[in-house]
Every structure is written in C-alpha cells, then in structure tokens.
Amino acid sequence: MKRISDLEKKYVLEVLDGEFKTSKGADFMTRFESKFAEVFHSSYAVSHVNGTATMHSALEAMGIGNGDEVIVPPLTMASTSLAVLHANATPVFADVDEDTFLISFKSIEKNITSKTKAIITVSLYGATPEMDSIMELAKKYNLFVIEDNAQAFLSYYKGKLLGTFGDCASYSFQSSKHLAAGEGGIITTDDEALAVKMRKMSGLGYSSIGSKKAKITKDEIQHPSFLRHDSLGWNYRMSELNCAVALAQTQRIEELVALRKRNAQFLLDAVQECRWLRPQKILQDCESSYWAFACKLNLDTVSWEDFRKQYLAFGGSAFYGAWQLTYLEPLFLENIFGRRKEFIAREYVKGLCPVAEILQPSIIQIKTNFINKEDAVFEANVLKKTIQYFDDILK
C-alpha cells in the first residue's frame, strides 16, 4: 500500500491531458464533491481551497459578522478561530474536558450570550466531542453548529458518522490529514439553501452556480448581457489537480483510515499499564479515526522535554506537542486585529480556560500514518521502552 497510489497519478494525468481547458474546468471537482457527499451521508458537498476557507464561507453564509460571537475551543490549530476573525466576528473560547481534550459543553453554555450565533466543535486527533449535549444547547439557544472535522474522517459518535450532526461539517486535505491532496478542503451539509450560499461565498458570488453546480457554463459567461455577480464572494475554489487527488483519496478512504486506527492500537497497547502517561479518552460507544495518538503526560513525574529526548534516543519519530492555546498567541494577547479591533469587545488574557492551560503543556501527539506495520510496531516498542526507562528511574 502507498499513501499516493497509481489511482491518484492516473487522475492527475487526466487533468493535465485536458490542458486546463475551461470546457473541462470542473469535471473532477464535480466527481469529487459527489463522492465525498455520498461517503459522508450528506446531500451536498462544496470544495474549497483549504479547510479554513470552508469555515469562513460557512460563517458568511450563515450571516455571521460584526458584533456576533462564535464559541470555539482554544486547544486546536488556530485556523478555527482565524476563520471567525475572517468573518469579522468575535471568537469566544470555551474550556475543554481534561480527559477527552475536547470542547466542554458545560463551558459552552457558560459562554453563551445574546451575541452568540454559532458553535464550532473540533474533533481533535479524531475523537468526538459530546455531540448530543452540544446539539441540545444549539437547539435551546437557536445556534448554528459547524463541525470542524479536519482531523476526523470516519469517526463515529454513538454509532452515527461524525459530520452528520451540525448544520455543516468542514474537512481538510492538507498533507498531514487522513486524506491528503497537498491542499484543499470541503464542507458538507443537508441544507440546500446553506449549500448554495457557501458555493457563492467560495466562488466569487457568481449568480448561476449552486449547491451542486460549481462552474458557469460557456453560454452564460460568453453572453454580453450575463450578470455574473449577485452576491459577495471570495475566490476559494479548489483546483482540479487537488480535486483529482482528493477524489482518489476519497475512493480509498476505508484503507487510509484503517491504517491509522491499526497503528493507534499498537500505541494504545504500549501505554495501557502506565500511570503517568494517559491517552486521550474516547467516549463510550464512540470511535476515533486517530489522526494522531495523543497522551497527557504527568509533568510532576516526567518533564515533556525529558520524555521527548529519551524517546528520540531510542529511535522514535519526532513527535509534536500541542499547539499553544489560540488566545495566548500574540495575535490575541496583543489585539493585532487591524480594523477588526473595532468589532471585538472581548479581552483575551491568560486564565480564560484553566483546564486547557494546564493540559496544553502536557500533551504529546505521536503520528499514526505509518504505512508499514513493522514501522508502527517499532514506534510502539519505542514508546514502551521509554515508559519502562522512566519507570525504572522512578522506582
């Protein structure tokens, strides 16, 4: 098995053979969107240039902007919050659960105000938030829900496919993701009106594109009386080359996700007896797709730096720590928002999310995209040896 197979290469060559002629301009985009919608049990899928643009388009399509608040988790890639800023709205940070590492529905409710318009959930590392409780809050307060599932392809919450709960769900095809196309994103929904608006937001506001129509016809665009733009939009369209690769990856999704889950199981087995290194909790009756294998290190026992140093000494792959909490980045602490400062009434300071602030420095995230079983087993054995090394010291 290869991460990029002959199928991806075949589709890319088909695009190149078409010489980017406008008559073939959205062939793979249409095929890709149709297949992705089918796999993710959605009526509509709208491709984008990346998984940040998807969320920006969604927020704009929902009419969210100046003076509105969107609740987000602080423990994730900053793109989730940046999409809110792109819409001129205000990110409001809800704390996370100390065991699942995911946004807490209790903290969400505490942060809801009259200005709140939406919640963006993030399925960090492939695990699922408490979607039932979050959707109940959304219904109670009449809020939109955007699922940021960039790290969760074929994850399940209580037997139901993640991405089928909120008003829409966003996915990324950046090179580290389960499905990789170099770059790209897609957003799914069952709401046709929302799909149309998101398409227009991503396609320069062209008047004749729609929920499943990604391209203006030649007859339309060539006519001198054609009125092209009936709404504001951005140029967020995904390229045919990226769509060709993403289509092939979507057709291979079962094997690509199964690979990560297999590798995660080896790592889970390696840590099961350790008392000071606890893996991310997966909720009962839920299924993670393990974009990465994340654990919480007890820093009173072993420092993050010492653990990583010894892990690398035993031959393990270099692993990441968690992203700095978004609101602790200089962008937020120093209010580097340009003219957007006029719209944002929130102050971002240390102490907003105490659980996340304790958790973030302790997280290690080991990759799960090993193609060969032998490499995955080796990595798990390195993890086991590292744990044993510190256990011996601590005796």
The catalytic site residues sit at 177
Neighbours of 139 (CB within 10 A): 10
Is the Cβ–Cβ distance between 139 and 90 less than 8 Å? Answer: no
Q: What is the distance between the alpha carbons of residues 80 and 74, in angstroms, rounded to a whole number?
A: 9
Q: What is the DSSP string of 44-104?
A: EEEEESSTTHHHHHHHHHTT--TT-EEEE-SSS-THHHHHHHHTT-EEEEPPB-TTT-SB-
Terminal alpha carbon distance of the chain: 43
Alpha helices in 191-324 (DSSP H): 192-202, 218-222, 240-251, 253-271, 304-313
Q: CA distances (Å), 224 to each of 186, 219, 220, in order?
A: 33, 10, 9
62 token code pair: 């929902």
Which one-letter DSSP state was computed for residue 239? P
Q: How many residues does the chain have?
A: 395
